[in-house]
Amino acid sequence: MSALELRDLVKHYPSAGEPVRAVDRLSLTLSPGELTALYGPSGSGKTTLLMLAVGLLAPDRGTVHFDGRDIGSMSEREQARYRLRDVGFIFQSFHLAGGATALDNATTKLIGDGLSLREARRRAQPWLERLGLRDREAQMPAQLSMGERQRVAIARALVNEPKLLLADEPTGNLDSKRTREILALLADICHTRDIPGLLVTHDTEALSFADRVQTLRDGRLSDGLDRDLAGAAL
């Protein structure tokens, strides 16, 4: 089974004063069938960590391994294939194509992997229905609410049945009912498909859906929820 291993990762950004330690000597293993929640406030390094895991950022030091492969040693083409076929990435901002319908936005990864438009649409429709968008699939993003756009982005991430799930604040634009539904869905996908998942969030209510909770603060991890940090955010 595939696991994601982050080993001694370092990613610092230059600044006028001290360098920003977004990720600082961080190690983390995501096991198959387990949804891990990474809690931390804005600016704690959560998104940087996801960008490193998916290969969109290169670490200053350390390595990222998935399914026994060193992501950093891959060619650009191999990394693109890894993101296309292996990773389901739910972005905090939707990155939807404004001139495409909800259904066609959900097919993006399938089209990129060589499927015909007809077949890609056939596979994407059940996901939109599962996410409550059956009657919205012909709408353009500008005609959708923020929550509906987020659900289209979630469908796009899941439609190719990825081997790794990465989610950057996936419920930030959803109401409480939809939030619970989406978090339960992500946990269920990790469990039933036996894949690793990483959910980054600053919402303490989301943590109850995870199998494991880690806190990220100043680029470093600690086990469980940092109660002082969580209390300050409430």
Strand partners, 157: none
Q: What are phi and psi of 228, to 5 degrees?
A: -65, -45
Axis crossing angle, helix 117-130 with helix 146-158, rounded to the nearest 10: 120
Residue 4 CB coordination number (10 Å): 27
Determine the 3-state secondary structure of 142 from DSSP: helix
Q: Burial letters for 31-68: b for 16+ Cβ neighbours within 10 Å, e otherwise?
A: bbebbbbbbbeeebbbbbbbbbbbbebebeebebbbee
Count of C-beta atoms within a 10 Å radius of residue 231:
9
User: Which CATH number is 207's domain given?
Assistant: 3.40.50.300
Judged by DSSP in three states, 159 sits in coil
Q: Torsions phi, psi of 126, nearest 5?
A: -60, -30
Q: What is the pLDDT along the chain (234 residues), one digit of tens a residue?
A: 579 999 999 999 988 778 888 999 999 999 999 999 999 887 788 889 999 999 999 999 999 999 999 999 999 999 999 999 999 999 888 899 999 999 999 999 999 999 999 999 999 999 999 999 999 999 999 999 999 999 999 999 999 999 999 999 888 888 888 899 999 999 999 999 999 999 998 888 889 999 999 999 888 998 887 665 555 444
CB 60 within 8 A of CB 37: no
The model's pTM is 0.90
Query: Quick check: helix, strand or coil at residue 75?
Result: coil
DSSP state of 171: T
Q: Could you give the 3-state DSSP secondary structure of residue 102?
A: helix
- Structural domain of 29: 4-233
Domain count, the chain: 1
Q: Could you tell me which of 79, 37, 28, 6 has the C-alpha nearest to residue 168?
A: 37
